[in-house]
Amino acid sequence: MKTTIANLLLILFIFYCVTLAFLYFKQSSFIFFPTGISKSKEFLLKQFSHFEVNINHDGFNLHGWFINRESSPEHPLIIYYGGNAEEVSNNLFDLEKYEKESLLFMNYRSYGKSTGSPSQASLFSDALFIFDHFSDTYSISSTNIILMGRSLGTAVATYVAKHRQVKAVILISPFDSLVKIAQEHYPVFPVKLLLKQPFESVQIAQEITAPMIAIIAGQDRIISNERSVNLVEHWGGKSHYVTIKDAGHNTISNYPQYWDTLRLFMSKMAKISV
């Protein structure tokens, strides 16, 4: 009997170790879910072809859409950073919900028509390059730029906000640390030791002075409200959050309150000079 139990424990231990190895080496596939553009969607996107932009960074093509309007403190440029499974062209179908802001939607590496492979390092590096490229090329002051990130994109927006002086930051379903999220979802694994791409936004949040608003889904089952609020509480500049009670992680932008909140925040920021 003891031998049987010992053998069973050994098998479970080996299985656990194999699982750890699998998670370690394949973790990128659990973090990033690159989405392409189907032929049917390409047809729909033809109406926005005059907004398309391509830039090269480190030998990779980064593709997106730039809606260039006259930039001013009252009408800034919004740079958007998508979620881990988001091909950002979907945002083009909501252009009428913005007013006179310029808008930049760029896909991460391997998303949409962008090439390369995504990683924490590449997302951060590309984001700074894109920021500087459009700021310099179109003579847009960094203080006339608002960063807007959703889900994983909130970590990218937070990173850029630390390294560039911006007008404001909008975070949709933000999180303090990918490590803490993973610990909540996979408590049996030592994720802090396994995770090579921790996206530790909370560690740099206190250094950021730009005003920030977070919009949180009350029924979010992917990023708990605790993780979102913790980032807001650690933010260095003025920050607050709005919770959309009935919204889920992937449905938050379907609610009128989401757009009402954005418009109210934008109107307040229009009155502020940096």
| pLDDT tens for each residue of 27-76 | 787 799 999 999 999 999 999 999 999 999 999 999 999 999 876 667 89
Name the phi and psi angles at 62, rounded to 5: -110, 125
- Give me the CATH number covering residue 96: 3.40.50.1820
Joined tokens for residue 261: 């909140």
Asked if residue 111 belongs to a domain, the reply is: yes
Asked if residue 12 belongs to a domain, the reply is: no
Q: If you compute the radius of gyration of the chain from its CA atoms, what whole number of angstroms results?
A: 20
* Domain that includes residue 245, residue range: 32-270
The total domain count for the chain is: 1
Centroid of chain to Cα 222: 14
Predicted local distance difference test score (pLDDT) of residue 4: 79
Cα separation, 200 vs 220, in Å, equals 20
Asked if residue 13 belongs to a domain, the reply is: no
Inform me whether the pLDDT recorded for 26 exceeds 70: yes
Predicted local distance difference test score (pLDDT) of residue 69: 87
Predicted local distance difference test score (pLDDT) of residue 120: 97
Predicted local distance difference test score (pLDDT) of residue 273: 67
Predicted local distance difference test score (pLDDT) of residue 247: 98
| pLDDT tens for each residue of 78-97 | 999 999 999 999 999 999 99
Asked if residue 27 belongs to a domain, the reply is: no
Q: What is the mean pLDDT of residues 243-266?
A: 96
Asked if residue 107 belongs to a domain, the reply is: yes
Asked if residue 137 belongs to a domain, the reply is: yes
Asked if residue 51 belongs to a domain, the reply is: yes
* pLDDT classification of 188: cutoffs 50, 70, 90: confident
Asked if residue 11 belongs to a domain, the reply is: no
